[in-house]
Amino acid sequence: MDLFSEKIDRLKELLAAPEQRIVIVTHTNPDGDAVGSSLAWAEALRTMGHRVTCVVPNKYPYFLDWMQGIEEVIVFRTETEGRAAAAIAEADTIFCLDFNAVSRLEILSDTIAANTTARRVLIDHHLSPDEGFDPAFSYPHCSSTCYVVYAIIEAMFGVEAISRQMAEALYVGMMTDTGNFAFSYLTPELFRAVAVLVERGIRIPDIHNSVYNAYTEGRARLFGYAINRKMEIIENGTVAYMSLMEHEMRRFQFQQGDSEGFVNYALTIKKMKMSAMFLAHRKFIRVSLRSRGDVDVNLFARKYFNGGGHKNAAGGKSFVTMQQTIDHYIRSVREFAEEGYLG
């Protein structure tokens, strides 16, 4: 991947001063790519002698608890000592990983905005990044932020600098953001990177088992309930949606990350082109959208749910009731189809 040499030179220049205070932040509801890229990049920066703090707005999924170094990640929502706010206030540089706008940090946004002197560097693969990052490593054609981080490390230090711990973290993001290497942007360069990570000592079956075979019984039962009782199919079998209220999730002892992958399941149906998941929170409903082929859910999310993301994976929010949200979705899908976007 062409990272443009001037961006690498600019990054080297920013990191040239020793023992900088650096904070790495990633998006709300951090997933495997967000956590993996943060952990790997943090270790790379520490090898340069910098003081690095990783902060996430809220808790990462429990099936990532095994990752090396994750115990040092500060969860902003639950920490009581003010370490995250202090680290951000004192930071010389803030690296923003796996999101394209500070607003994606939600409860952490104001804390980041309060530091007006720190340099902000973007490393991301989502569409339409905000301005104000220098440099901005924004590559929407890449399958994951972990791949972008891998390419930066390769360009700056060579692959020999990648430790096994870094390699495991990078592989987690590459694996999860591609649906275990089943989605788009599966380039020869990505698989060459995976080969390097294997050479650095990772064990792919162990990582796969730790991520995909570590759910709770409650999650398994919730999945069955969601598919059997809550999945609805419209538009002649080409569009689906599921919804879960808070009381339904509590019934199955819901934990952060338990709904991961639910929205993808409808796409295993032969005719299906687009799927949505509506997850109720106390103040809003989180909307997850997935599609296959040329159906652009990034466009759909921006147009109807004030959101965005990737062509085949996007999201947004709704601030009305669940039934109103579903009704709005059904109307929007019909309009989307009439405009020719569903093929």
- Domain assignment present for 156: yes
Indicate whether 224 belongs to any domain.
yes
The mean per-residue pLDDT over the stretch 323-335 comes to 98
* Confidence check: pLDDT of 321 > 90: yes
Identify the band that residue 6 occupies on the pLDDT scale cut at 50, 70 and 90: confident
pLDDT at 82 over 80: yes
Final residue of a structural domain among 211, 241, 265: 211
Give backbone dihedrals phi and psi of 98, rounded to 5 degrees, phi first: 70, 30
Nearest to residue 222, comparing CAs of 199, 186, 253, 246? 253
- Calculate mean pLDDT across residues 68-91: 96
Range of the structural domain that residue 224 is part of: 218-338
pLDDT 10s digits, 129-183: 999 999 999 999 999 999 999 999 999 999 999 999 999 999 999 999 999 998 8
Closest by Cα among 342, 317, 298, 9 to 140: 298
Please provide the average confidence, as pLDDT, over all residues in the chain.
95
Region 273-283: what's the mean pLDDT?
96
189-244 pLDDT per residue, tens: 999 999 999 999 999 999 999 999 999 999 999 999 999 999 999 999 999 999 99
Cβ atoms of 308 and 298 within 8 Å: the answer is: yes
Residues 6+ apart with CB under 8 A from 94: 22, 23, 24, 25, 88, 112, 115, 118, 119, 120, 121
Spatial distance between the Cα atoms of 150 and 101, rounded to a whole number of angstroms:
22
Residue 343 counted as domain residue: no
Residues 188 and 195 sit within 8 Å (Cβ to Cβ):
no
Of 211, 242, 266, which residue constitutes the final position of a domain? 211
| pTM (predicted TM-score) | 0.93
Please say if the pLDDT value at position 1 is more than 60.
no
Looking at residue 3, its pLDDT comes to 59
Looking at the structure, tell me whether residues 59 and 9 fall in a common domain. yes
Domain boundary among 211, 240, 258: 211
Cβ neighbours for 88, distance < 8 A, ≥ 6 positions apart? 23, 25, 55, 94, 111, 112, 114, 115, 118
Say yes or no to pLDDT of 184 above 90.
no
DSSP helix/strand/coil, 79: coil
Domain tally, the chain: 2
